[in-house]
């Protein structure tokens, strides 16, 4: 975190698994926080920590200098902007940290800019662990001067903030990140099943792979077999660092955006049905490394102990 944080009035809309710890870091930094969320429980917890509840998204934005959105999908973001247009002005900034369609995001930039307010798309990487640690990576699209004004509201939960380009480019970079990560996870799940069926100790696969050309984040953190990595989701009841259903949503965004650009994304087309099979098997709210359970079943391996 860079230097002394300038205290500002910050709104936070969306107190889910990512949003709540992000909001908590802002409270810990001393900011005045106003919140809204779909669930009653997170709002009550936020108020108990010192936040103020507002009557919906428009009221949050009206009460705040900088408002952060952390919601599931494109319609959610567009709906919040719909509600907020009447309270936006030149002294306000909206920062969307959700992962949504880049073209939808560009439209929100235009709508907000027409009111004189600033807008940034700043999707996140780092999962719930990064959110809890205040070490998220933000890939930011929009005007550089708006980002500089918004930094006090971003730095408390960020490990790295990168201005990647103009409106919507943050979302493009995030989708590229998700494409790579999903493909990594599928390869690690396939390799784990192949090795396990061949009698290879997966701890040794991990040792070799992390010191060889197979090294990647998915291998280091998400071998999808319980007991191999103590901190992996598989060894902790498949608790989600990033849920299967959310990765499926992001891969759908990749496929749709790439189709509009006529850009090939073969790996997305391969991994998406496996994510769908994991969701259909009841693993949708588990960590997306649960696709490994699908691969193990297809390989004829016994289900893991804590399946």
User: Active-site residue numbers?
Assistant: 174
| Interatomic CA distance for residues 200 and 162, integer angstroms | 41
DSSP state for residue 64 in the 8-state scheme: -
Are residues 265 and 253 in contact, defined by beta-carbon separation less than 8 angstroms? no
| Interatomic CA distance for residues 208 and 66, integer angstroms | 47
DSSP string, 242-288: SBHHHHHHHHHHHHHHHHHHT---HHHHHHHHHHHHHIIIIITTSBG
| Interatomic CA distance for residues 122 and 69, integer angstroms | 10
DSSP state for residue 270 in the 8-state scheme: H
Are residues 221 and 231 in contact, defined by beta-carbon separation less than 8 angstroms? yes
Are residues 109 and 147 in contact, defined by beta-carbon separation less than 8 angstroms? no
38: left (phi over 0), alpha (psi -120 to 50) or beta: alpha
Are residues 61 and 88 in contact, defined by beta-carbon separation less than 8 angstroms? yes
3-state secondary structure (DSSP) of residue 158? strand
3-state secondary structure (DSSP) of residue 93? strand
Q: How far is CA 7 from the centre of its chain?
A: 25
Residue 180: partners with Cβ closer than 8 Å, 6 or more residues away: none
Total Cβ atoms within 10 A of residue 237: 11
Q: Are strands 66-69 and 118-121 parallel, antiparallel or unpaired?
A: unpaired
| Interatomic CA distance for residues 152 and 10, integer angstroms | 9
């Amino acid at each position: 975190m860079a230097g002394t944080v300038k205290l500002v009035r910050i709104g936070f809309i969306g107190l889910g698994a990512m949003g709540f710890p992000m909001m908590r870091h802002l409270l810990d930094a001393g900011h005045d926080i106003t919140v809204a969320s779909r669930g009653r429980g997170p709002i009550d917890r936020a108020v108990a920590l010192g936040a103020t509840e507002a009557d919906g998204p428009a009221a949050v934005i009206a009460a705040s200098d900088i408002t952060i959105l952390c919601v599931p999908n494109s319609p959610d973001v567009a709906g919040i902007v719909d509600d907020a247009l009447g309270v936006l002005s030149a002294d306000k900034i909206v920062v969307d940290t959700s992962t949504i369609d880049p073209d939808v995001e560009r439209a929100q930039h235009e709508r907000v800019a027409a009111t004189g307010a600033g807008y940034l798309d700043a999707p996140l990487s780092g999962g719930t662990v990064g959110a809890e640690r205040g070490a998220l990576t933000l890939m930011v699209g929009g005007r550089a001067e708006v980002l500089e004004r918004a930094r006090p509201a971003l730095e408390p939960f960020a490990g790295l903030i990168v201005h990647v380009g103009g409106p919507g480019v943050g979302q493009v970079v995030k989708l590229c990140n998700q494409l790579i990560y999903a493909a990594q996870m599928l390869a690690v799940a396939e390799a784990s099943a192949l090795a396990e069926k061949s009698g290879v100790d997966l701890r040794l696969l991990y040792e070799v792979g992390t010191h060889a050309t197979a090294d990647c984040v998915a291998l280091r953190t998400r071998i999808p077999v319980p007991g191999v990595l103590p901190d992996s989701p598989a060894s902790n009841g498949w608790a989600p660092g990033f849920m299967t259903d959310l990765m499926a949503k992001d891969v759908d965004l990749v496929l749709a955006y790439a189709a509009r650009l006529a850009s090939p994304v073969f790996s997305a087309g391969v991994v998406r049905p496996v994510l769908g099979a994991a969701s259909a098997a009841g693993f949708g709210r588990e960590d997306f490394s649960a696709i490994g359970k699908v691969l193990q079943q297809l390989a004829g391996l016994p289900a893991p102990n804590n399946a």
